[in-house]
Structure 1
Amino acid sequence: MYQRPWSITYNLQRYFKFSAEELRGLIFGILIIAFIVSFDDWGTETFNLYHGLRNLFNAILIVTLAVLFRISAQRITGLTLGYKVEYRMWLYGLLIGLVLIIVSNGKLWLLLPGGLLFYHMPGHRIGAFRYGLNYFPIGVIAFFGPLSNLLLAMVFKWLLVYFPGNLILEKAMNINIWFAIFTMLPIPPLDGSHVLFATRLWYAFCGTLIFVLAITLYFLNIFPALIISLLAAIAVWFAYVWMTKL
């Protein structure tokens, strides 16, 4: 069946697949982060190899889902806006997280998976405003990473209603919440830095939405958490606009 060049279906088929370098970075990053989040799960009172390996395997599955879901959301958004998006592992961020989890004996998570590279796709943005690479669409693409993690967290929280006390679902929700929080920090090469470079107003809105939603999901049901986070983001938006006009 003929597909029009530069349609979203055409772009997904041609540009969505991961390169060998991306796959190596993804595998290494997933293993490191899975080790970090399962570091404290190798036995309750004494070391238990079977218990630890089982929890590590579960962590690998959860982290793989979290990472692939967020990157897929960003790639699809990028292709929709005329950009090719590639994942790059942040080695220093992963090593810092690894050292911190060892030093803290499993008490402190620091999940810094990596960042994104953006490529303008000639011909795909012909006629678009500010043809070429520009900060705002890049910030929009980056924002879909933390947002997708919180969407996954909400799915797991909803499943906990039907399977209360399920430790795997609780772990999956927590990992996705912390993924959203850490990757929204305005530190290069994390997603939050691209959102900040888009505009400070965009970061004020998106950052507030992500951080408040991440926190409220721990304590409230999904709908109240969404309402509170959205109202907080709107309030911060107007407060920022008002302050910049003073």
Structure 2
Amino acid sequence: MPSHSYAKEYRTFFYNLKRFGFSLSKEEIKQIIITVVMIGFVWSFNKWGGETFNFLEGIKNFGLGCLMALICTVFNQVGQRVVAVYYGYDPVYEYGIIGLMIALVVTFASRGYLIFFLPGAINIRHLTASRLGEFRYYTNDWEWAKAGFMGPFFNVILLLLLSPFKSNPFVMQLMVLSLLFAIYSLIPLPGNVGLYLFYPHIYFWTFTLAFVVVASAIGFFLSPIIALLAGLLFGAIAMFWHYDKVDKRIGEF
């Protein structure tokens, strides 16, 4: 009989991706649902009719908002989970409850004209069998940052994939919401991806921010390939500018 090693099986990427990456706990599902519903509420707050309240129109817009929030959340999570599993971690989604509470305050204060939210982030737990032999056995900040980068990156990819169909009103709204996901993900607050990019690797955060802004802006007008390449180029330029013009000057004092 051929020998079979369970330890080897547990170290394979696809096994871990199925068991940990794309397997959600009940708590994760609950937190994702809360996040999606809250973002759907924020998105549709002032879309419950014109001068007069329209319940059916409001419910329809709320449902569409939740659907778009779910799509953006899936894209935001998939990339992070794949990269986290690749480095030997178990990704666990955690909503940014502080950001969601702030979102409600901003929504009511602005009467729905200012859309703000924090999409949440993943917390990573090392997988013992998969991390054996790694240079840094426990959680590595750089690997965590690379996993976090994939959240806004995939939201930009979603925007670029949809850009050829932007004449459709629903698609245009989905593009805008995906852009907001990418930008708000980078805010360095607890329970948000930006926290794991900004503090340990601020240059990488600068690269990501420039990439998101440039690629998204160009993606609304030019081809997705041009937008993607321009975003990567300007991201690299911004990262080196940050190091050369800002940090070097600080070091001189």
TM-score relative to the length of structure 1:
0.90
**What is the CA-CA distance between 1:245 and the residue it aligns to?**
4.6
> 1:156 is matched with which residue?
162
**What is the CA-CA distance between 1:75 and the residue it aligns to?**
1.2
- Does the 8 Å contact 1:139/1:197 carry over to 2? no
**What is the CA-CA distance between 1:85 and the residue it aligns to?**
1.0
The amino acid across from 1:190 in the alignment is: N
1:18 equivalent among 24, 35, 43 = 24
> 1:125 is matched with which residue?
131
**What is the CA-CA distance between 1:106 and the residue it aligns to?**
1.2
Task: Map residues 142-221 of structure 1 onto 2, 5 A cutoff.
Answer: 142-160=148-166, 164=167, 166-221=168-223
1:87 equivalent among 93, 105, 128 = 93
The percentage of aligned residue pairs carrying the same residue is 29
Tell me whether 74-83 or 192-201 shows the greater mean CA deviation. 192-201
Task: Map residues 79-118 of structure 1 onto 2, 5 A cutoff.
Answer: 79-118=85-124
The CA distance in 1 between the partners of 2:89 and 2:9, in whole Å, is 17
**Taking structure 1 as reference, are residues 223 and 8 closer, same or farther at Cα in structure 2, changes over 3 Å only?**
same
**Taking structure 1 as reference, are residues 204 and 104 closer, same or farther at Cα in structure 2, changes over 3 Å only?**
same
- Does the 8 Å contact 1:184/1:210 carry over to 2? no
**What is the CA-CA distance between 1:219 and the residue it aligns to?**
4.5
SS, match of residue 112 in structure 1 = coil
Task: Map residues 47-62 of structure 1 onto 2, 5 A cutoff.
Answer: 47-62=53-68
2:146 equivalent among 137, 140, 147 = 140
| Cα distance per residue 1:20-73 (max 9 Å; x no partner) | 111111111110100101112212332211111111111111111111221122
**What is the CA-CA distance between 1:6 and the residue it aligns to?**
1.6
> 2:39 is matched with which residue?
33
> 2:230 is matched with which residue?
228
SS, match of residue 93 in structure 2 = strand
The CA distance in 2 between the partners of 1:121 and 1:214, in whole Å, is 35
**What is the CA-CA distance between 1:188 and the residue it aligns to?**
2.4
The CA distance in 2 between the partners of 1:167 and 1:40, in whole Å, is 17
Task: Name stretches of at least 5 consecutive residues in structure 2 with no aligned partner.
Answer: none
**What is the CA-CA distance between 1:223 and the residue it aligns to?**
3.3
The CA distance in 1 between the partners of 2:173 and 2:216, in whole Å, is 14
The amino acid across from 1:226 in the alignment is: L
Aligned residues: 241
- Does the 8 Å contact 2:203/2:239 carry over to 1? yes
The CA distance in 2 between the partners of 1:190 and 1:96, in whole Å, is 13
The CA distance in 2 between the partners of 1:200 and 1:92, in whole Å, is 22
Q: CA RMSD in A?
A: 1.9
> 2:75 is matched with which residue?
69
The CA distance in 2 between the partners of 1:237 and 1:12, in whole Å, is 31
**What is the CA-CA distance between 1:220 and the residue it aligns to?**
4.1
2:14 equivalent among 9, 18, 42 = 9
